Structure 1
Amino acid sequence: MLTFTFRRLLTAIPTLLFISLVIFLLLDLAPGDPMAQMPLTVPDEVKARMREALGLGEPIHIRYWKWLVQFFWVEPLHLLDAMFGTGFAEGSQRILSWQTRSPVVDIVMQRMPQTLWVVGTAYVVAILIAIPVGIYSAYRQYSVFDQAGTFITMVGFSVPPFFSGVLVIIIFAAQLGWFPSIYDTRLVVDSWHDFGLQVRQMFLPVMVLALQITSQLSRFMRASMLDNLNQDYVRTARAKGLREKTVVLVHVLRNSMIPVVTVIALGVPSIFGGAIITEQVFKVNGIGQLLITAIQGNDLPMVQTLTFIFAVLIVLFNLIADVLYGMLDPRIRYD
């Protein structure tokens, strides 16, 4: 397993380099000028000096190389300086946002906790609900519980977040007044009272995200369980006198989790993309809203960095899914 993991990490390096090149070229060659939003009173020579300071006058391959070095080398050193005060990155140049003229990674690190709070909680809640629901729906196929679960999951998977988000705001915030409609990112949790406020303001965006994730995962879990419940090894286990609970929750569940692990692992990066809409609806000041703002402001360094972070997440969770295969199924050997 260690050999396989090491090989996959080595394979991930050229994969990420190719993805970074594609992202950089697609966004860099797109039409637009960061100086276009400057006031008309700014002289042309000042705009020219600003373009030169941003490195826009250099050849594209030079700009790509600098962006790559800054992303993989300079920014990690600055993060080490921020965490441990090592001084490794002293005097080194950083990727700057065209809108704020601040380091891109600093802005991302400020927004990331808000997104992780909402997205992480929604994913954990969805997994804790979807897996038991999928197992019981498959075991009690065509029962009232299965039919009700199928109806709810189909509705949850079909309704887009921008509609369900506005709907829950109207019902639970505007009409009932149970929860706030806007996420307060300035809230600092340093007491139980603040923790309660944090839970209240997280409830609606987490519910909207978890509904869609639960609908997808429970359908996959049900289909995988149904496929394994009819296998010969299940009939053999029952014929040997094993308890039904052991057959279902040990033998069937372990084999059924293999395709579901793929959906769970690969769904983590995609839910960050889905959170963009939810963050806009609930005004969560996270990386989703940051990406929308950067696109609207033609802030290419910010868009390139966030897009590449999503790509890194996809490659990383692909590797995690492959490693989990070997842990769930002893028949899978990579070495």
Structure 2
Amino acid sequence: MLPEHEALLIFTREQFPELDGTPCDVEVILKGASDRHFYRLNWQVGREPMILMVYTLARRDNPKFVPATHRLRKIGAHVPQVYAFDEQRLCVWLEDLGRIDLQSFNEHPWDRRFPLYQATLREAAKFHGVQESTLTPADVEELEPGFDEALYEWEQNYFLEHFVGGYLGRDCSGPEFATARETLRQLRRRLARLPRCLVHRDFQSQNVLIRGEDAWLVDYQGLRLGRAEYDLASLLYDPYVNLSMEERASLLSYYADHRALGLQDLREVFYLCAAQRLMQALGAYANLSRNLGKPHYEQHIPAAVFNLAEVCEEGQGLHELRAFFAGGL
């Protein structure tokens, strides 16, 4: 066993003295782009596996995972139980939700996938139902900074710097991009004026685990105030999976019915958020693949560009954004 794994087991047995002497296999879980490390502790006798998350303070949202877990469990959302938390060693021991995520059903027939997406949307509705007006200042302080015009602008600049400039090699500061830049400004201003609720922030298929027919959530440490449609766009325009326009429409309709929302109004804001989310994703894929030593993220760029092109056609006032990426791949 590797020395670092032996150290992790020492820490674990300090938290759970009853496991002292119980043999354990440490399995490294390789997934995601964050600076957190995950291990599955497979106890050989008398104990279900558990997950050990070891994080750093390099990202400001990492320490928010435990309070976000407690908040989500209070409203009945499906999230793992926290067995133990060592704040000094930056370790969290968690319930093992299994190995099957929503993305793994990508090649299954739609009649198999549809109920899993419905279950996922029902989970989202639980925290989307928590409106900003119901939260205290202390509640808000516990969350990550909410979506406002400044954060939307940061995401847009991330897209311009890393994807448009870095990946496509385009200088978009010239007059030929003036209309597209104004479209970005109008987009962030429109979104920032809308009421906010709790959102996951990274609500995509790899962050949804499937147990039976139920959906369970992970990687929600970015919980904050924002628009529900941003989460919906993250899921329904997820570049990691294939969804047709008809399938997206069915899921959006299901969500509207589940929450008793007007579908037309939901669709309008959904496309605005989809453009914003996909630009953020393209900035991330370009930055991760070009600058952070994770070249496998580049494979998701064509799907994200295809989705963004569709959104620019379907959404109101978004067509000019195509100038940033048209003909670029």
TM above 0.5: no
> Which TM-score applies when normalising by structure 2?
0.22
- Higher fraction of helix: 1
Computing the radius of gyration over CA atoms, which structure comes out larger, 1 or 2? 1
> Which TM-score applies when normalising by structure 1?
0.22
**Quick one: higher RCO (CA 8 Å, sep 6+), 1 or 2?**
1
- Higher fraction of strand: 2
